[in-house]
Every structure is written in C-alpha cells, then in structure tokens.
Amino acid sequence: METVIPPPPVPSVAVRGLSAVFPIHRIYCVGRNYAAHAREMGHDPDREPPFFFQKNPDSVVANGGNFPYPARSRNVQHEIELVVALGRGGSGLRDTESLDWVYGYAVGLDMTRRDLQGRMKKMGRPWEIGKAFERAAPCSDIVPADRIGHPHTGAIWLKVNGEVRQQGDLDQMIWRVPEIIAHLSEMFTLAPGDLIYTGTPAGVAEVQRGDLLEGGIDGIGVLCITVV
Ligand code: MN
C-alpha cells in the first residue's frame, strides 16, 4: 500500500520466552475496581456497573524502561494493575466464554496526571489529559494463559524505591476478568491485540523524578520502571 505519509509503527509488547511480540490494537482501562481504592478516591464501592476509559496503544513503556515525568502536572500518580491481553475479538460475549478470548496476562501501570483528571471530573469533561498522555501505560512482558492459566487470586503490589505503597489481591476485584470482558464487549467490538487494564488496589500516590517503581503480581511477573 502506498501511503502519503510514513505509516505509524505498530506498537507491541514482548511475550515472555518468545521472540514474536504481541501487537497492540487498543488499550481499555477499568475505573474503581477495588473497593478500598474506590473509598480512597471518595466513592462508595457499591457494585455499580463497571466503567471504562481508554489509553493510546503507543503509550506503552516496556519493562525496564523510563517514564518521563509528563508536562503540565504537579501530581502524577502510580496505579498498579493486572493487564489482560486478548487473542480473539468480537462483541456480545457471555462471561462464561470470555476467558477463551484471553491470550495472556501482564503487570501494568496506569500512570495518571491526578490533578488534571480531578479538574476534568469536576467540570464533567473527558479524562484524556489525565490518563491518555505519552508513555502513560507501562506494561511488563505478557505471559500466555496456556502457560499459567487464568489467575483469579494472587498478591498485587507496588514498591517505590523499595518501600511498599500499594498492596492487594486479585480476589478483591469488584468486577472479575470474565465479567469485565463481557461488559466491554457490549460497548465495543473487541479485537485481537486489545489490552485491558483492570483497575488498581488502594495506596495510589505521587511519583517523583528518580523514583524506581517495582510492581508485581504473583504468578505473572514484575514490572520495573524509572521516573525520569
Ligand atoms: Mn486505573
């Protein structure tokens, strides 16, 4: 195909143990999916339907990479999250079948310009400037589900400069992975290459330049990112 400008590169994530990579189609994120985090953000953690926002596929930062402190914010926060990578797509999935669509899992950071997000919330405006800025989606290597199965429990944690900041367990998720995929598939046509960030446990806090962020999920792996 002839293009009038150079075609943009296809963003991708590494797959553990393989030289082939996982190409990214879209990035979906779930808001307020752990009760303790909903409470710390000033909300009632009742089981209201899940809500979603998106990040840009080219915002992924690979494990070991740098997260440049973004412009226009004085309060950038970390959110450690389980990431689901889809290997199949479609719409109108039932939650009993949706795990068949999962290619694998990874550890991600939903980096957030909290001050800008807060301002947009107050004004009833979209969250993009708080959530969808450059390099706002660090993501570890993906581990295929055919190697580790589908984790429903397991510690999820984040350390900053060696000190524990966030700690939780996947079994604390208000909406479980199969339900999240089913809900999303009612709103969007899902596709192979979609990543879903599934929400963060309590303990979100500000990062500073020079911080080393180390986050992990039992059975999946560890993600290390430096704020520069
Ligand atoms: Mn989040």
Query: Domain coordinates of the chain in residue numbers?
Result: 12-227
Distance from residue 197's CA to the centre of ligand 1 (Å): 7
> How far, in Å, from the CA of 204 to the mean position of ligand 1?
9
**Residue 106 C-beta-side C-alpha neighbours within 13 Å:** 30
In degrees and rounded to multiples of 5, residue 83 shows phi and psi of: -110, 130
**Residue 158 forms beta bridges with which residues?**
166, 215
Q: How far is the CA of 7 from the centre of ligand 1 (A)?
A: 30
Whole-number Å distance, alpha carbon 114 to ligand 1 midpoint, is 11
Closest CA to 30 of 67, 82, 88, 95: 82
Average pLDDT value for residue range 73-99: 96
Q: What type of residue sits at position 217? A: I
pLDDT of residue 77 exceeding 90: yes
Q: Do 79 and 58 touch, CB atoms closer than 8 A?
A: no
Measured in Å, residue 2 CA sits from the centre of ligand 1 at 39
45 in the Ramachandran plot: left (φ > 0), alpha (ψ -120 to 50) or beta? alpha
Residue 99 has pLDDT above 90, yes or no: yes
Q: What's residue 44's pLDDT?
A: 82
* Candidate CATH numbers 3.50.50.60, 3.90.850.10, 1.10.3720.10, 3.40.50.10190; the one for domain 12-227: 3.90.850.10
Average pLDDT, the chain: 96
> Which residues have their alpha-adjacent CB atom under 5 A from ion ligand 1?
79, 110, 200
Q: What dihedral do alpha carbons 67, 28, 85, 43 form, nearest 10°? A: 90
Q: Could you tell me the pTM of the whole model?
A: 0.97
- How far, in Å, from the CA of 112 to the mean position of ligand 1? 8
Residue 5 Cα to ligand 1 middle (Å): 34
